[in-house]
Structure 1
Amino acid sequence: MTIIRSMITRSFSSAATIRSLRVCVVGSGPAGFYTAEKMLKAHEDAQIDIIDRLPTPFGLVRSGVAPDHPETKIVTNQFTRVAHNERCSFIGNVTLGSSVSLSELRQMYQVVVLAYGAESDRNLGIPGEDLRGVHSAREFVWWYNGHPDFCQLAPDLKNTDTAIVLGQGNVSLDVARILLKQPAELATTDIASHALAALKESSIRKVYLVGRRGPVQAACTAKELREILALKDLYVNIKQDDFQITAADEEEMKNSRIRKRVFDLLAKASLSSQTHPTSGQPELHFTFFRKPEKFLESNDRSGHVGGVSFEKTTLKGSAGSGSQIAVGTGKYEDLKCG
């Protein structure tokens, strides 16, 4: 702690003799670097220190972006130019609250910007959430991206052929794609070596992407959806009954080109999919109008998840009032998984 404080103090003292505006940005992800970049451009007298609890910068770009999306990570070139600015410094391995306190930073700097993001998960608050095999997206994504906090997560991918992903946004599609993509293709990306080794031995062949609402309200982008639908030899299953849209659905698509494009892609995929998967073929099942009620323990009572109980939903509300919400119907369905 003393060494870290002295490093920051030296940086501060050096800045104090030359510059008049001293800024500390806590967090070196996109928010932190964009803040630093704007401050450097807007204030010619600003000296900026970016601190982070990790030894490496770039936050979400490094640990949140899928390893097979290198084009998204190109933004790190821009952040690197910011860090190389003579009026900017990056200091890693500094934890706010233990290495240095907020009050100490406020004494040393004229401006302190807290840009460290959200590093905790919001629990669903349903029974069985603590069963082994139930992971948050943050944990799983940090695992395959090599974040030091979750390198030892070791999800069990060998003893089941089925995974359920709750949600249908871009991160959900990332998780499903990583589970279903050929390891040989992932080997050419910057995926963490421990994750690649586990995926090479994975038995997962079937992934369910489950959403509370319908295909009109799917939260992913058309680009992400096209990418997963284009996976080699993928069987896609979407029930035709889910495409019975209402006037409120039509209004939502009228007001959002993104939702219209996503809906059209899902509809096309449902019409063009084969009747049944072939043996060993990877399967992607889009499941709509379901909300999780509880996680089910496996039959061997080992404390490991064995499935999810869902309540079927219907939509209420109108597009004019904002968006339609999913409400339970009192009918239930279980899906097995590991």
Structure 2
Amino acid sequence: MRNIRVAVVGAGPAGIYAADILTKEHPEASVDVIERLPAPYGLVRYGVAPDHPRIKEIVKALRRVLSRDNIRFLGNVEYGTDLKLDDLERFYDAVIFSTGAMADRQLDIPGVDLPGSHGASSFVSWYAGHPDAPSEWPLEARSVAVIGAGNVALDVARMLAKPADEQLTTEIADNVYQGLKLNQATDVHVFARRGPAQIKFTPMELRELSHSPNVDVIVHPEGFEIDEASQTAISSNKGTRLVVDTLLKYVEAEPTGAPHRIHIHLCQAPVEIYGDGRVEGLRTEITELVGDGTARGTGEYVDTPVQAVYRAVGYFSSQLADLPFDHVNGVLPHEAGRVLDLDGEHLPGTYVTGWVKRGPVGLIGHTKSDAAETVASLLADLDTLRTAETTDPAAILEHLAERGVEVIGWDGWERLDAHEVALGEAAGRERIKVVPRDEMLRAARG
């Protein structure tokens, strides 16, 4: 069982789970988790709405992994800028890429570039306090459309409909709270192109929409279509059954007269964002189910006047320097986690896990099994792995220092973490997230 040093690029759940599984399966392994931001946890920290308290339990589990002696966190280090693939090959026996997916999948309809048309990932980054997001967000629209039938669409709709003061029990950043206080939205319309049994909401996310006394959830009965395939899905899948039952309760519920409303429209597919110089409305085509879980257009169209559109149609990974990329599917080409070159051959010592491996699908459980597959491939290749030029863990730090890179280690993250907690305590909250990168770095330095 040879000693190996492995770099994991990306400190989200996928990368942390890979480090955890690898060091448990192969105790002679030591892992550096390299992250471009000064803070770990990826989309758990920067891709989830602040009013999701259950995320804290996931953070606790990830924290336990990163605090282990044989796993080292190297934050504020960006692959492709501060480090090249050649550098990683000098200092490590193997590299696992787990850079996730942060960009928006493209929606190819007219008007998508009009002012007032936003990719959901940009809005999510803003309200989650990402240091690379703009400090302000335009929230003048009174009627808003959200395109998408997944949990991100629900998060966006809830953040747009829920009054800012209800977020003061969360870790919401000050600039985000101040921005949401200016939000003018009263009606948020969520559009799904298929029926109630095909949408990808999870039951808990769907139920959370109605937790605010200031928000009515209105599911419009038009398009609430359940065909034979839908009935089969409802009968065979508990999650689908719970989602459909929740939607039915919303259909039957009487509005309370709350000042904000979330409207859910089923069997409507977006075909055009229209407006003269900026967004003035969304045109959708009414669809019908065809019996196999898909839907087709009917040629009947509906115009919904809105002043902003949020496109929550999925995330997309970005290409990584010096590595092949599947531009159609937005992933690194691989076989069981082994990265493949343009000829379909395994790039020695190079592996991938998470959304940049399989695409932006699946929940935390899928991420763990995905990481396990990649680690199994790496361990199967153990005898053929290259040997790093140096086994000294300090060598990579010296190399980065020579390039002028300020590395934030685990101690630095703990100082930043404690700083955010202290800010929260002063305001009677658990935490207030720090957003500007320079402020994050100052806090990390202590």
Under TM normalisation by the shorter chain, which class is it?
A: 0.7 to 0.9
Counterpart CA distance in 2 for 1:169 and 1:316 is 21
Counterpart CA distance in 2 for 1:240 and 1:56 is 44
Q: Does 1:75 align with 2:58?
A: yes
Q: 1:288 aligns with which of 259, 266, 269?
A: 266
Instruction: Give, as a single letter, the amino acid of the residue that structure 1 aligns with 2:208.
Output: E
Q: 2:44 aligns with which of 51, 61, 64?
A: 61
Q: 1:187 is paired with a residue of what secondary structure?
A: helix
Deviates most, 140-149 or 183-192: 183-192
Deviations for 1:69-98, whole angstroms, at most 9, x for unmatched residues? 122132222222222222221111211112
Q: 1:307 aligns with which of 259, 281, 293?
A: 281
Tell me which residue corresponds to 1:245.
Answer: 226
Q: 2:103 aligns with which of 117, 120, 145?
A: 120
C-alpha displacement at 1:258, in angstroms?
A: 1.1
Counterpart CA distance in 1 for 2:104 and 2:214 is 34
Counterpart CA distance in 1 for 2:42 and 2:217 is 33
Tell me which residue corresponds to 1:175.
Answer: 156
Q: Does 1:271 align with 2:248?
A: no
Q: 2:134 aligns with which of 151, 175, 189?
A: 151
Q: 2:205 aligns with which of 220, 224, 242?
A: 224
Q: Does 1:187 align with 2:168?
A: yes
CA contact (8 A) 1:133 1:155 kept: no
* Structure-2-length-normalised TM-score: 0.66
CA contact (8 A) 1:62 1:73 kept: no
Structure 1's 289 and 85: CA in aligned 2 closer, same or farther, altered over 3 A? same
Q: 1:337 aligns with which of 306, 310, 314?
A: 306
C-alpha displacement at 1:168, in angstroms?
A: 2.4
Structure number with the bigger relative contact order (C-alpha 8 A, sep ≥ 6) is 2
Tell me which residue corresponds to 1:31.
Answer: 14
Counterpart CA distance in 1 for 2:64 and 2:225 is 51
Tell me which residue corresponds to 1:317.
Answer: 291
C-alpha displacement at 1:116, in angstroms?
A: 0.7
Unpaired runs of 5+ residues, structure 1, are: 1-18, 319-323
Q: 1:207 aligns with which of 172, 188, 202?
A: 188
Counterpart CA distance in 2 for 1:270 and 1:83 is 45
Counterpart CA distance in 1 for 2:212 and 2:149 is 17
Counterpart CA distance in 2 for 1:242 and 1:295 is 21
C-alpha displacement at 1:136, in angstroms?
A: 1.4
Q: Does 1:234 align with 2:208?
A: no
CA contact (8 A) 1:236 1:273 kept: no
Counterpart CA distance in 2 for 1:221 and 1:119 is 21
Instruction: Give, as a single letter, the amino acid of the residue that structure 2 aligns with 1:305.
Output: V
Deviations for 1:249-301, whole angstroms, at most 9, x for unmatched residues? 21121121111111111111111223xx74x721111101111111112xxx3
In the comparison of the two structures, how many residue pairs are matched? 306
CA contact (8 A) 1:63 1:145 kept: yes
Structure 1's 120 and 68: CA in aligned 2 closer, same or farther, altered over 3 A? same
Q: 2:79 aligns with which of 84, 88, 96?
A: 96
Counterpart CA distance in 2 for 1:113 and 1:245 is 43
Q: 1:327 is paired with a residue of what secondary structure?
A: strand
Deviations for 1:189-219, whole angstroms, at most 9, x for unmatched residues? 1122212111111110101111001122221
Q: 2:114 is paired with a residue of what secondary structure?
A: coil
C-alpha displacement at 1:244, in angstroms?
A: 4.5
Tell me which residue corresponds to 1:3.
Answer: none
Structure 1's 336 and 206: CA in aligned 2 closer, same or farther, altered over 3 A? same
Q: 1:130 is paired with a residue of what secondary structure?
A: coil
Tell me which residue corresponds to 1:4.
Answer: none
Counterpart CA distance in 2 for 1:273 and 1:217 is 25
CA contact (8 A) 2:35 2:78 kept: yes
CA contact (8 A) 1:296 1:308 kept: yes
Unpaired runs of 5+ residues, structure 2, are: 308-446
Counterpart CA distance in 2 for 1:178 and 1:51 is 31
Structure 1's 71 and 239: CA in aligned 2 closer, same or farther, altered over 3 A? closer
CA contact (8 A) 1:65 1:73 kept: no
C-alpha displacement at 1:182, in angstroms?
A: 2.2
Counterpart CA distance in 2 for 1:104 and 1:290 is 50
C-alpha displacement at 1:317, in angstroms?
A: 3.1
Counterpart CA distance in 1 for 2:96 and 2:129 is 27
Counterpart CA distance in 2 for 1:187 and 1:125 is 37
CA contact (8 A) 2:162 2:215 kept: no
Counterpart CA distance in 1 for 2:218 and 2:81 is 50
Instruction: Give, as a single letter, the amino acid of the residue that structure 2 aligns with 1:255.
Output: S
